Amino acid sequence: MIEDDFYATIKLKTGEEIYCKVAASEEEDKTMLIISNPVIITEINTKYGVSGYKVEPWLKTTTSDMFIINMDNVLTMSESSDDEMIEIYHNFISKSDRSKTNKIKLNRKMGYITSVNEAKKVLEDIYKNS
């Protein structure tokens, strides 16, 4: 049975602190957390106090956005209802989603488009004439 999604800060036993959308699931007497788009949020401090936040993905070398964590690996978890933090989280997720889907399409303005055989012939002619 999966509970409703909620936003939370999770402190893992490894010391990592992540912010994500969470759904809890009970399976065979174990509680598992299904987390989506986990991020690490760091406060950026200046001599005048906190000036902003740095947001980065929890795992940087994966394209997956959902993970399962055994509750045994969680030290503590705090549900978040902070609208500012939720907005920061959503802005980061939407920007990272756009960057994954923004593939640049080739067009003639980017340069000369040709076939391999035509390019080979042109380059051979240039080499022979030099």
pLDDT level of residue 111 (50, 70, 90 thresholds): low
Give the tens place of pLDDT for each residue, 93-110.
888 766 665 556 666 666
| pLDDT, average across residues 73-83 | 93
35 touches 22 (CB < 8 A)? yes
Distances from the Cα of 24 to the Cα of 31, 38, 57, angstroms: 7, 15, 21
DSSP assignments along 23-61, one per residue: EEEEETTEEEEEEEEEEEEEEEEETTEEEEEEEEESSSS
| pLDDT, average across residues 117-122 | 82
User: What structural domains and CATH numbers belong to the chain?
Assistant: 6-105 (2.30.30.100)
Q: Compute the distance between CA of residue 109 and CA of residue 107 in angstroms, rounded to an integer.
A: 6
Q: Which of 79, 98, 76, 74 is nearest to 21 (CA)?
A: 79
Token pair listed for 12? 């893992």
